[in-house]
Structure 1
Amino acid sequence: MTHELAAFNFTRVLNEDPILKTLTLLGTLPSPTAVNGEANTQESAILIIERSAFPVQTATGHVAQRIATLATLGKNDIYSWWTAILAQSQLEPDLKISVIHPATEAHIVKYSKQERKMVTETAEIYRARVLPWIENQPKSRIQWVYNILNGSKEQDDILFRDNDPDTGFIVLPDSKWDRKTLSSLYLLAISMRSDVRSMRDLTTKHLPMLKNIREKALKMVPEKFPGVASDEVRLFVHYHPSYYHFHVHITHVQAQVPGSTVGQSHLLENIIDNIEHIDPDYYSKINLRFALGVNHPVYALVTGELSN
């Protein structure tokens, strides 16, 4: 992978987040299908680079013991400020890098910095504009999901599997988690059902599936990750989701994760209660208000700012 990333040709910065310590770059990488005569064939690639979480203590000692170089920024009474360079460590990598290659124009738009605005998606707008758009999405966009569910990809990563076609699901680590820092634990529960695209599709007939995910996920996490209690686990659903196959996000309650803001994030417990106690078709009837990037295709559908 080191040699592969060394071939990355930088084009521009798509986004940076100083709070989450992430940097998203657009460039090109050699085509993975190129043959010898096409060695220079380049395809768009996105690198998502983020700072790894600091371990409190590891086999190599405290992080302070890895400091190789210090430079002072100033001092005042009991306070002082420094910059530091850490010595390399195979056990404590400094960065986590995710690669999307080849990246489509949809990926580039998704990961580019853009203005966000609050919008209201009424039930009528959803049925008339948004649902047809979702139904027209090519199946190839979520082929990676089916690869996991049918057992052809990422099987070593699966932490839990329930094969029931109606209520079953699999659990695996989210790509944004470093797989070692429990306070930033981030897993995904992906439903076996292919007929539930988003929260909008949920009705009373899906309660067994929702409750199965809730109960088994809350039991599974403490068993797989000692030190994380069930009351430290947060289960939520995004609307709009990043892909239209029903899935539930499982995180440590302390984890600061993208998309956990008001409007976009809906607690699984609240979803179950709304369907069970308010209306069996609650999510197909209500208006939903959330923040959305102005370049997201749904933004134009909801606001009516459609191109000619």
Structure 2
Amino acid sequence: MHSLSGFVFVRVLNQDPVLKTLTLLGTLPLSDATAEAGSTQQAILLIEKTHFAVQSAESDITHRISELFSTGSNDIYHWWNAALTSGQTNDPDLKMSVIFPATETHILKYSRQDRKMITETAKIYRDAVLPWIECQPRSRIQWVYNILDGLKETENVLFRHSDPDTGFIVLPDSKWDKRTLSSLYLLAISQRTDIRSLRDLRTQHLPLLKTIRDKILALVPEKFPGVAEDEVRMFVHYHPSYYHFHVHITHVSAMVPGSTVGQSHLLDTIIDNIEDIDPEYYAKASIRYALGVNHPVYGLVTGKKI
């Protein structure tokens, strides 16, 4: 086979917006000299977007952008679609997030770094990690409060439950393309401001956790026909990227960052641990997780400075 000029498309077999892959079924003409004229065979075409060039002159792709389309902003976060050639409004080449102004904390977070498995005991959490969390300025998660207060991203909110104890909102995660159901990715953000992370959860928070679980299992199949209740995965990150309690909601097939062992904790397991094992399970447990060495918590837990 020397070309794809005779490829005839039949159907899409699979696609993954996160891995940037597309698998197509089609047919190709047989080139064997003994084959009948016009005879074809089925062919599977696996397509993957190539990685960005890493050479300094080529890695700055911004000089190749022909058109930019803003898709929203919230505090220091801005989202854009971009086309490398003009006239691609409906099919952009790039999806971009811009953090501006960016702090040194952001630079460290998004820089390439080694990840290590470390163990955080309850004592280390109380003595070192919790004081660090309590020192984080509210301004760092102002974008969360903008959403909760209805000041930003109102057009993205899919559901709002306003109860002061069990209330939360649901909106698409910025990493989801809002089209491909197999990569569905939503966030449920608690209205409460007194739960910073998994470590804070106690018996009194079970109504919130169960309300999120039950309402999401009803909401997703209603809002996204084709996604069944048993295809919905809900989990919590530890450590989270921001210290305001939220739950990640994805299609079970979605290969999303942070859904692996060492960072994610299934919502059902969290509920069981508090309800059936120990009301203060997450206050007492030693938690082993993967963390980038640039993260300030890495040094607090290990005593190492990178």
Q: TM tier, shorter chain?
A: 0.7 to 0.9
Give the CA deviation at 1:100: 1.2
RMSD (Å) for aligned C-alpha atoms: 2.9
Are positions 1:183 and 2:182 aligned together? Answer: yes
Shift of 1:94: 3.2
Counterpart of 1:209?
208
Deviation of 1:51 after TM superposition, in Å, equals 7.4
Distance 1:301 1:54, change over 3 A: same
SS of alignment partner, residue 265 of structure 2: strand
Does residue 148 (structure 1) correspond to residue 147 (structure 2)? The answer is: yes
5 Å-filtered alignment, 1:118-137, equals: 118-137=117-136
SS of the equivalent of 1:110 reads: helix
Aligned length: 241
Cα drift, residue 95 of structure 1: 2.4
Residues 203 and 275 of structure 2 are in contact (CA less than 8 Å); yes or no, is this contact kept in structure 1? yes
Match of 2:294 in 1: 295
Question: Distance between the aligned counterparts of 1:293 and 1:97, measured in 2?
Answer: 23
Q: SS of 2:163's equivalent?
A: coil
Give me the whole-angstrom Cα distance separating, in 2, the residues matched to 1:82 and 1:213: 38
Query: Which TM-score applies when normalising by structure 1?
Result: 0.72
List 4+ stretches of structure 1 deviating above 2 A.
50-57, 78-95
Residue 248 of structure 2 aligns to a residue in which SS?
strand
CA distance in 2 between partners of 1:92 and 1:298 (Å): 40
Structure 1 position 103, deviation (Å):
1.1
Separation of aligned partners in 2, 1:83 and 1:231: 29
Matched, 1:283 2:278: no
1:56-82 Cα offsets, whole Å, 9 max, x none, are 89xxxx9xxxxxxxxxxxxxxx99999
Give 1:104 shift: 1.0
Normalising by the residue count of structure 2, what TM-score does the alignment of the two structures yield?
A: 0.73
Secondary structure at 2:132 match in 1: helix
Structure 1 residue 261: Cα displacement: 1.3
Q: Give CA-to-partner distance per residue, 1:182-224, whole Å, 9 cap, x none.
A: 1111000000000000000000000000000000011101111
What is the alpha-carbon distance in structure 1 between the residues aligned to residue 168 and residue 24 of structure 2?
33
Would you say the 8 A contact 2:183–2:254 is kept in 1? Answer: yes
Contact between 1:167 and 1:209, CA under 8 Å: does it hold in 2?
yes
Instruction: Give the unaligned 5+ runs of structure 1.
Output: 1-19, 22-49, 63-77
How far, CA to CA, are the matches of 1:138 and 1:81 in structure 2?
47
Matched, 1:98 2:117: no
The equivalent of 1:158 in structure 2 is: 157
Instruction: Find the residue that maps to 2:260 and give its secondary structure.
Output: coil
Amino acid at match of 1:195: D
Question: Which range moves more in the overlay, 282-291 or 86-95?
Answer: 86-95
Q: Partner of 2:267 in structure 1? A: 268
1:253 aligns with 2:241: no
Q: Distance in 1 between matches of 2:176 and 2:47?
A: 28
Gaps of 5+ in 2: 1-15, 27-42, 51-83
SS of match in other structure, 1:208: helix
Residue 84 of structure 1 deviates from its aligned partner by 9.4
Q: Is the 8 A contact 1:234 1:253 kept in 2?
A: yes
Q: Which amino acid in the other structure matches residue 303 of structure 2?
A: G
Secondary structure of 2:257 counterpart: coil
Change (3 A) 1:83 1:188: closer
> Partner of 1:223: helix, strand, or coil?
helix
Contact 2:23 2:44 in 1 (8 A): no
Larger radius of gyration: 2
For the residue of structure 2 that corresponds to 1:98, the secondary structure is strand
CA distance in 2, matches of 1:83, 1:162: 40
Q: Distance in 2 between matches of 1:124 and 1:301?
A: 12
- State the AA in 1 paired with 2:159: F
Identity %: 68
